[in-house]
Amino acid sequence: MRPGRLAFATVALATALLSAFSSAAHAQSVPTTGALERFEPSVPGDTFLGVPSVSVSGEYVPRASVFATYAYRPLSIQDGDTRSVVVSDQVYLHVAGSFSLWNRIQLSLNLPIALAQGGDNPTVAGVNFSSPSGAELGDLRIGARLRIWGEQNDPFQLGIGGYVTTPTGAADSYSGDGLVRGSPHLLVSGQIGSFLYSTSLGSTIRPGSRPSSFDARAGVGMTFLDSVIQVGPELSISVPFSEQVVVDNSDVQIAIKSPLSAELLLGAKLRFLKVFVIGAGAGPGLTQGYGTPQFFAVSTLGYDPQPDKKPADTDGDSIVDPEDACPAVPGVKHPQPNKNGCPADNDNDGIVNPQDACPDLPGPTNADPKKNGCPDSDGDGIFDMEDACPKLAGLPNADPKKNGCPDSDGDGIFDMEDACPKLAGIADPDPKKHGCPPDSDGDTIYDSEDACPKEKGVPDPDPKKNGCPAVQVTQREIVILRQVKFKFGRSSLDQTVDPVSDDLLAEVRDAIVAHPEIKLIEVQGHADSVGPEDYNLTLSENRANAVRDWLIKRGIAADKLTAKGYGSKVPREPNTTESGRQENRRVQFVIIKRDDKP
C-alpha–C-alpha distance, residues 334 and 326, integer Å: 12
pLDDT in tens, 453-464: 877 777 877 887
Q: What is the pLDDT of residues 320-343, one digit of tens each?
A: 888 888 888 888 888 888 778 888
Query: pLDDT value at position 62?
Result: 94
Q: What is the pLDDT of residues 91-144, one digit of tens each?
A: 999 999 999 998 899 999 999 999 999 988 888 777 787 888 889 999 999 999
Q: What does CATH list as the number for 8-303?
A: 2.40.160.40
pLDDT value at residue 29: 39
What angle is formed at CA 139 by the lines to CA 21 and CA 215, rounded to 5 degrees? 85
**Beta strands 518-526 and 561-565, pairing class:** parallel
SS3 label, residue 444: coil
Beta bridge partners of 329: none
Q: What is the pLDDT of residues 252-287, one digit of tens each?
A: 656 566 678 899 999 999 999 989 999 999 999 998
- Distance (Å, rounded) from C-alpha 295 to C-alpha 265? 10
Number of neighbouring beta carbons within 10 Å of residue 469: 19
Q: Do 471-594 and 8-303 have the same topology in CATH? A: no
Looking at per-residue confidence, does 20 or 523 come out higher? 523
Q: Does the structure show a pLDDT above 70 at 357?
A: yes
pLDDT of the residue at 308: 66
Residue 30: the pLDDT is: 41
Q: Which of 291-295, 391-395, 403-407 shows the highest mean pLDDT?
A: 291-295
Helix ranges restricted to H, 354-501? none
CA 161 centroid distance within chain: 21
Nearest to 567 by CA among 510, 596, 525: 525
pLDDT exceeds 80 at position 232: yes
pLDDT, tens only, 141-189: 999 999 999 888 889 999 999 999 999 988 778 888 888 999 999 999 9
Q: Are 167 and 180 in contact (CB under 8 A)?
A: yes
Q: How remote is the C-alpha of 158 from its chain's centroid? A: 16
- Classified as helix, coil or strand, 553 is helix
Provide the Cα torsion 543, 545, 547, 550; round to 10°: -140
The whole-number average pLDDT for the span 548-577 is 93
Per-residue model confidence (pLDDT) at position 11: 29
Q: What is the pLDDT of residue 22?
A: 28
At 253 the pLDDT is 58
Reply yes or no on whether the pLDDT at 489 is more than 70: no
55-92 burial, b for 16+ CB within 10 Å, e for fewer?
bbbbeebebbbebbbbbebbbbbbbeeeebbbbbbbbb
DSSP 3-state of 504: helix
List own/partner pairs for 145-151 with CB under 8 A and 24 or more apart: 145/43, 145/52, 145/54, 145/56, 145/105, 145/106, 145/108, 145/187, 146/56, 146/104, 146/105, 147/54, 147/55, 147/56, 147/103, 147/104, 147/105, 150/54, 150/189, 150/190
Beta strands 586-594 and 477-480 are: antiparallel
- How do beta strands 28-30 and 127-129 pair? parallel
**What CATH number does domain 471-594 carry, 3.90.550.10, 3.30.1330.60, 3.40.50.1370, 1.10.10.10?**
3.30.1330.60
pTM for the structure as a whole: 0.51
Which of 226, 157, 230 lies closest to 198 in space, CA to CA? 157
Phi, psi dihedral angles at 549 (to 5 degrees): -60, -40
Mean confidence (pLDDT) of the chain: 83
Diameter of the chain measured on Cα atoms: 122
> Would you place residue 24 in the very low, low, confident or very high pLDDT band (cuts 50, 70, 90)?
very low
Res 562: pLDDT: 96
* SS3 state of residue 321: helix
Q: Beta strands of 461-577 (E only): which ranges?
A: 471-473, 477-480, 486-488, 495-497, 518-526, 561-565
Q: What pLDDT does 246 receive?
A: 58
Q: How many Å apart are CA 395 and CA 383, to the nearest integer?
A: 11
**Sign of torsion, CA 51 57 60 61?**
negative
Angstrom distance (rounded) from CA 203 to CA 216: 8
Question: What mean pLDDT do residues 233-248 have?
Answer: 80
Phi, psi angles (nearest 5°) of residue 321: -55, -40
- Residue 380, judged by CB atoms within 10 A of its CB (0-12, 13-18, 19+), counts as buried
Q: Region 25-34: what's the mean pLDDT?
A: 43
Q: State how beta strands 586-594 and 518-526 pair.
A: antiparallel
Q: Is residue 315 predicted with pLDDT exceeding 60? A: yes
- For 347-365, what is the mean pLDDT? 81
Helix, strand, coil percent values for the chain (each to nearest 5): 10, 35, 55
Element (H, E) at 508: helix 502-514
Helix (H), strand (E) at residue 503:
helix 502-514
Q: Taking the domains of the chain in order of start, what are their residue ranges?
A: 8-303, 471-594
Interatomic CA distance for residues 589 and 546, integer angstroms? 13
Q: Phi and psi for 261 in degrees, rounded to 5? A: -110, 130
- Strands (DSSP E) found in 361-488: 471-473, 477-480, 486-488
Mean pLDDT along residues 454-475: 80
* pLDDT tens sequence across 521-534: 999 999 999 989 99
